[in-house]
Structure 1
């Protein structure tokens, strides 16, 4: 493999690994904040115990996510310096704001939440976690705005003398049409992920602790998580449908590659649920299709026109010309890897729909005090979080691989973005080192989570309330 292959593999591994933690962190901050708010409102000790229990799991996930996220940004200067030089003026603003505002907001108020149980009034303490959640949303907005610019560059001008894209309209970058639909899709997927995670954890403890008085508490958590997951699943489907139409507008090749559609369909383009064919997807051996569905996904009309790969390849070659520097891709090919885009698109949709359907099944199985404990329920508890995490990962694989051979659509190809001074041996060394480190971190993460989960929710201990009005005859205490 040459340096482009190695750099792409490293970036893909680091990105997918890091994004295993991101949606869970975003969703869990909202769920933990909601649980604590309910405790403040009702003084029900079950909500306090669940708040601290899932708060501990959140902190474990947050810590590992921060470590992997730092490496994510260092890669831009390590293997992608030409890309960084080209987009630095555009990317600098949102990434700086994300780091200085959003991440500092998260970390500061998370620290207040951790150490402020006996120092902050209860409503203020609960508000800290809501602020952490707002910080994760803000962080997601700025990161996704930067990524959306790669999908649909706007608000810039190209300086031929420096060979760089220069920011001219910050608002256009922040409210890019791709960003407007990508953000709610990603956040809804994060809530779905956290919801099924809560279902799995609380459901396992519910099944395990059959003879304890904690079962009603875990059952409550199961139903809360399943409700959040089901509602979020509907939001994922709606936002994903809208996002697909914008994607077809700005990157028609990505939609064509998602279906392996080589010939333009003037109307009623079918969508294949499953296909067996040649590796490039050009010749079909067997398929299960839904008539006209691809037209609806891409245009909003069952009679909509969907452009094919062959016509788009010719159009791109005419618009962008031959690419004399291309090494990884054939000159003027402009076609992503069809099997990857085809199957990642279906795994994203299939796993996401399965997770939402599983949440609906859990709600049905636990209705009116029912207590499922069968083998099918245990397998469902294992499959739900894995399915949601898989849907997130395949979604990003499709988003990034479907844009290829562009690193910035229409402006820079991927093989022009790598660092010119990095050799294949150096890139391979960093790939092996980071992959090995992440394997160790994966073991640590799973071990810590499983240990905390097995311990279950700690017994109820009422924390002191610094905001309580002191009685006249109550002795004073000195704190420092």
Structure 2
């Protein structure tokens, strides 16, 4: 069986990204929770809040260290496994990655060190500022990574230079403030806040069930429930915005998520349940909720959402326009000097150049897209349809778990307000069992975002099949297995260290509380 270099490269990147993304959400959320807890400590002077901050800080540190170790490899993969991608869009994609490394990551890493070793060397307010800088740096890292990813989903602020055959930035402002990138950033960060909140809630519930560290557990649950409820509600709102932008920029992804094979009259129904059959192009046992998809996807009752069949037909037309753009590009490049290019060729490329990526889909079947047959064009158009069942079910797992998190955090928020956190052991057990669920929801969301973009590595611009390096399949397979073994070992290390730290629990703090000092000094003075 011949190994497919494109499939292997995709699988390797997916493997490393999925592993790395196990650590990122908890880092994002815990950093903010630490800042909130230490803020309460500085405002009240209560030692228990200092203990809480230190304890959850240990878990943050373990997760942060393993996350850095798994994340370093990912950026090297762009040069090793995706060299043509790096060449084609390196001027654009490399900028936010460089900023993330130079500004956000260094800021984060520097203040992480001060957080752990500065407790007795900095003032209370100084250490609090350090903790907020850790949270700021962590979220800045996510911002620049998602700016880069947002460009892959919605390439803006750039243009192809026909002479160098590279994409160049035309507006860095547009790249940074890409609406897709901004929506993905706030949605992803909010999901990280939910992840950390459920983690803190579950660990604290375990302490409650064991009758250990009750003071810290109750306060941690109160903070996690309040912060988690706000974050879970925001995930829904921000997810709606992300879905609306998908309707504008990635229509095929939206149609695949809904398994919408045929274009429906507006407003389209939402398929709550069903079994998509990609070969038969129908969804078996589908349960529809009228109007909902039209309202979510278009925010109107009259705007049509195109189905997969219609989008495939449009893709075929765009491929044919792309062939014309490719022909104009080849003639422009054949000219001896840029000044010798006929004006009509330049005009033709300017008019159809945005469809060039669709012509490049044919590179999988023919070296020169201009020589493609009708059958090859039709096949390339079919390639624009991602794997519908995977998107359909991943999206519903993500949304279903998101609704559960709202109910869970809302319940514990209500219990904390009534001071009944220890009244219902069954709810505490549910909170413990729920600890891994945010990671399942987040990984499902990542699958929706990335598989939904296929067959593009950059939506409408560069097909995935063209972006890979000219490596031997055996080389990629070997490194893939190596990464799988290494990352699995790191997961085991992470879990072992986290479980040991949780079983050990918070350590007593030697710093006396302000209240205790005042109580002992006043009688002595009298």
**What TM-score does the superposition give when structure 1 sets the normalisation length?**
0.92
The answer as to 2:182 corresponding to 1:180 is yes
Q: Is the 8 A contact 1:145 1:176 kept in 2?
A: yes
Mapped partners of 1:361, 1:409: distance in 2? 41
- Note the C-alpha offset of 1:141: 1.2
Q: 2:197 matched to 1:191? A: no
* Alignment match, 1:295: 294
Q: 1:352 touches 1:387 (CA, 8 Å); kept in 2?
A: no
Match of 2:436 in 1: 386
Whether the 8 Å contact between 1:207 and 1:373 is mirrored in structure 2 is no
State the partner residue of 1:153: 155
For residues 272-291 of structure 1, what are the structure 2 equivalents within 5 Å? 272-280=271-279, 282-291=281-290
Q: Which has the larger radius of gyration?
A: 2
Q: Distance in 1 between matches of 2:206 and 2:279?
A: 43
1:12 to 11, 14, 29: 14
TM value normalised by structure 2: 0.84
Residue 453 (1) aligns with residue 502 (2)? yes
Label 1:277 to 1:37 Cα distance change in 2 as closer, same or farther (>3 A): closer
Gaps of 5+ in 1: 466-480
Shift of 1:68: 0.7
Q: Are the equivalent residues in 1 in contact too, given 2:4–2:473 (CA < 8 A)? A: yes
- 2:146, 2:276 → 1: CA distance? 35
Q: Is the 8 A contact 2:257 2:392 kept in 1?
A: yes
Query: Could you tell me whether the CA contact under 8 Å between 1:60 and 1:448 is conserved in 2?
Result: yes
Q: Is the 8 A contact 2:208 2:422 kept in 1?
A: no
Q: 1:2 aligns with which of 4, 10, 18?
A: 4
CA distance in 2, matches of 1:5, 1:378: 43
Go from structure 1 to structure 2 and tell me whether the alpha carbon gap of 1:391 and 1:280 turns closer, same or farther (over 3 Å shift).
Answer: farther
- Greater helix proportion: 2
- Aligned-pair CA distance for 1:382: 3.1
Q: Which residue of 1 aligns with 2:363?
A: 325
Cα deviation digits, residues 64-86 of structure 1 (max 9, x gap)? 00011101111111211111111
For residues 2-54 of structure 1, the C-alpha deviation after alignment (integer angstroms, 9 at most, x for no partner) is: 11111111111111111111111011111111111111110111101100000
- The more displaced of 264-273 and 4-13 is 264-273
User: Does structure 2 conserve the Cα–Cα contact (< 8 Å) formed by 1:145 and 1:179?
Assistant: yes
Give the alignment partner of residue 389 of structure 2, picking from 309, 324, 339.
339
1:326 is displaced (CA, Å) by 2.0
Whole-Å Cα distance in 1 between the matches of residues 63 and 394 of structure 2?
25
Deviation of residue 366 (structure 1)? Answer: 4.5
CA separation in 2, counterparts of 1:252 and 1:237? 20
Which moved further from structure 2: 351-360 or 168-177?
351-360
Whether the 8 Å contact between 1:295 and 1:306 is mirrored in structure 2 is yes
d(CA) in 1 for partners of 2:107, 2:496: 29
Secondary structure of the 2:435 match is: helix
Q: How far 1:378 sits from its partner (Å)? A: 4.5
User: Are the aligned partners of 2:274 and 2:284 in contact in 1 as well (CA < 8 Å)?
Assistant: yes
1:160-206 CA-to-partner distances (Å, cap 9, x unmatched) read 22221011211110001112222111111111111111101111112
Give distance in 2, aligned partners of 1:315 and 1:63: 47
CA deviation map 1:340-394 (0-9, x unaligned): 1111111111112212221112233445232447663344223433221111111
CA contact (8 A) 1:141 1:183 kept: yes
* Residue 184 to residue 403, structure 1, CA distance change in 2 (3 Å): same
Match of 1:110 among 109, 112, 124: 112
Is 1:262 matched up with 2:261?
yes
The 1:175/1:454 distance shift into structure 2, 3 A limit, reads: same
Shift of 1:407: 0.5
| C-alpha separation in 1, matches of 2:222 and 2:53 | 15
Q: Which stretch shifts more, 161-170 or 370-379? A: 370-379
Q: In the aligned structure 2, how far is the partner of 1:372 from the partner of 1:280?
A: 53
The residue aligned with 1:244 is: 243
Distance in 1 separating the partners of 2:92 and 2:489: 35
Instruction: Give the Cα–Cα distance (whole angstroms) in 2 for the partners of residues 383 and 285 of structure 1.
Output: 33
Kindly state the Cα deviation for residue 114 of structure 1 after the two structures are TM-superposed: 1.3
State how far apart, in whole Å, the 2-side matches of 1:308 and 1:372 are: 51
Superposition deviation, residue 292 in structure 1: 1.0
The farther-off stretch of 324-333 and 234-243 is: 324-333
- SS, match of residue 158 in structure 1: strand
Query: Are the counterparts in 2 of residues 117 and 463 from structure 1 also a CA contact under 8 Å?
Result: no
| 1:429 to 1:208, Cα distance in 2 relative to 1, 3 A | same
Tell me the residue number matched to 1:435. Answer: 484
Q: Is the contact made by 2:261 and 2:307 (CA closer than 8 Å) also made in structure 1? A: yes
Where do 1:387-426 residues align within 5 Å? 387-420=437-470, 422-426=471-475
Counterparts of 2:15 and 2:441 in 1: how far apart (Å)?
Answer: 16
Deviation at 1:452, TM superposition (A): 0.3
Q: How many pairs align? A: 461
CA contact (8 A) 2:256 2:391 kept: yes
1:469 is matched with which residue? none
Q: C-alpha deviations, 1:399-422, integer Å up to 9, x for none?
A: 0100110100111111111102x1
- Give the gaps of 5 or more residues in structure 2: 321-358, 367-375, 515-526
Q: Is the CA contact 1:293–1:302 (under 8 Å) kept in the aligned structure 2?
A: no
Residues 28 and 287 of structure 1: CA distance in aligned 2, closer, same or farther (over 3 Å):
same
Task: Summarize the Cα distance change of 1:462–1:228 in structure 2 as closer, same or farther, 3 Å threshold.
Answer: same
Q: Give the 3 Å change call, closer, same or farther, for CA 130–327 of structure 1 in structure 2.
A: farther
Pair 1:372–1:280, CA change in 2 (3 A): farther
Q: Is the 8 A contact 2:88 2:165 kept in 1?
A: yes
Equivalent pair of 1:61/1:445 in contact (CA under 8 Å) = yes
